[in-house]
Amino acid sequence: MAYTVGLYTLGCKVSQYETEAIGEAFEALGFEVRDAREVCDVYVVNTCTVTREADRKSRQYIRRLLKKNPAACVMVTGCYSQTTPHELAEIDGVAYISGTYGKMQLPKRALELLASPPATPVVEVTDADEAPFEPMCITRSPRTRAYVKVEDGCECRCTYCTIPAARGRVRSKAPADIFREVEGLTARGTQEVVLTGIETASYGVDLEGYRLIDLLEELDAKGYCKRLRLGSLTPEVVTEEFAARLGRLASCVPHFHLSVQSGCDRVLARMKRRYNAAGALAAMERLRRHLPGVQFTTDLMVGFPGETEEMFLETLDFVRRARFLSMHVFCYSRRAGTPADTYPDQVPEEVKHQRSQRLMELGCSIRDALLDEAVQNCKPLRLLLETKEKDGWHGHTDEFMSVTLEGDTDGAQGDLVWVMPRRHRDGQLYATLAHQA
């Protein structure tokens, strides 16, 4: 009888991709991959450490799994275990701890641990800066869009962030490996591929004379996928040349997630971001010129140390000018070992939460205005059918607008169809097939 393994991911799209690759590696060694909510012989928890809350959730979930099956072999990997393995080793019952490198060795290690359970946790954490790019790939996606990791590491050194310590320097996946993986996924029916990384914009800095835009052009020329989307970018990568070359690609969708963090220059400078508010707006304007109808989503932090009400109002003004389709708003979280943790003028938690609420309310009003425009324009939008519910198919347009397709539709999951937006409510567009009255 095959051993069973349950996989659980906390964190970003990169971690989700890595967990999928881990799952396929377990299957290759004969394991049966199950939902982590079931009783399994082995559990793998892929952790996140972007906030203190992420650390807490990682510990909480590990303990929940051990309560579910005290005899299970619990393996912990990822960013939290890279930076603070000793905290996880203190959890009674954890069998194995690795960091952000060595994920493809987990199935082999699991077999060894099942054969000879350790008395204390086995800890194998490689220095993040010394680790090479770990080869991994997926052959299928559990979703209608596939995430493909093309880059690891970050060298931005923002004053609030622990991720460079967890992920190390920038390392890029070889273009030939990316082409092979994308070709395989699309041959199995994947319509949309999202290229993702810890710092996607830095792809290629370790490759001679080859950068992200070169990769995109080659992928587009090969014609593997109908929709090519990018993970999070930072504004400084969007030069006039970058935007112009993007605009000539047939498969690149008109949607970009820009990790902006703040709309106040003084806050951005203290964060040590590589741009200011005007630079971020200029990058968006370049993309709007070269990709008509483009929409933007973003991450914004409130309550960074020293952020005054005046500085926060600058971010509100920036958001009004930027007109983001959606925003992930979060409160600054102190992280030990980062410069910002020692900054004076830490913002009280209640102020952070008040600002977060105000920013989200503004974001909702801007989103509704953009959806109004989509309805009033009376132009068809291309929709990827993702999930079918009682009220119809749900999916996202090229611009990443969330849509419910009403009426009888002869379609299958993963189909691309043209729809006409009719109305919207609570951030959701409601549409009919474009040929319907």
Residues 271-315 have pLDDT tens digits of: 999 999 999 999 999 999 999 999 999 999 999 999 999 999 999
Tell whether 34 is covered by a domain. Answer: yes
Count of structural domains, the chain:
2
Which pLDDT does position 24 carry in this prediction?
Answer: 97
Domain CATH for 97: 3.40.50.12160
Q: What are phi and psi of 257, to 5 degrees?
A: -100, 110
Tokens 């052959």: give the residue. Answer: 139
User: What whole-number distance in Å separates Cα of residue 49 and Cα of residue 201?
Assistant: 21
Confirm if 160 and 47 have CB atoms less than 8 A apart: no
- pLDDT single digits (tens) 65-120: 999 999 999 999 999 999 999 999 999 999 999 999 999 999 999 999 999 999 99
Residue 410 CB burial class (10 angstroms; 0-12, 13-18, ≥19): exposed
Last residue of one domain, picked from the residues 99, 124, 149: 124
134 Cβ contact partners less than 8 Å away, ≥ 6 residues apart: 101, 102, 103, 104, 152
Is residue 153 one of the residues assigned to a domain? no
pLDDT for 276 equals: 98
Q: Is residue 116 part of a domain?
A: yes
Domain edge (last residue) among 124, 158, 192: 124
209 inside domain: no
The residues facing 311 across adjacent strands are none
pLDDT at residue 437, as a whole number: 41
Domain CATH code at residue 409:
2.40.50.140
Give the domain extent around 412.
379-433
Ranges of residues in the chain whose predicted pLDDT is under 70: 436-437
Model pLDDT, residue 96: 97
CA distance 242 to 283: 10
The residue among 258, 328, 246, 326 whose CA lies nearest residue 292 is 246
Give the pLDDT confidence score for residue 436 in this predicted structure: 52
> For residue 248, what are the contacts with CB-CB under 8 A and spacing of at least 6?
none
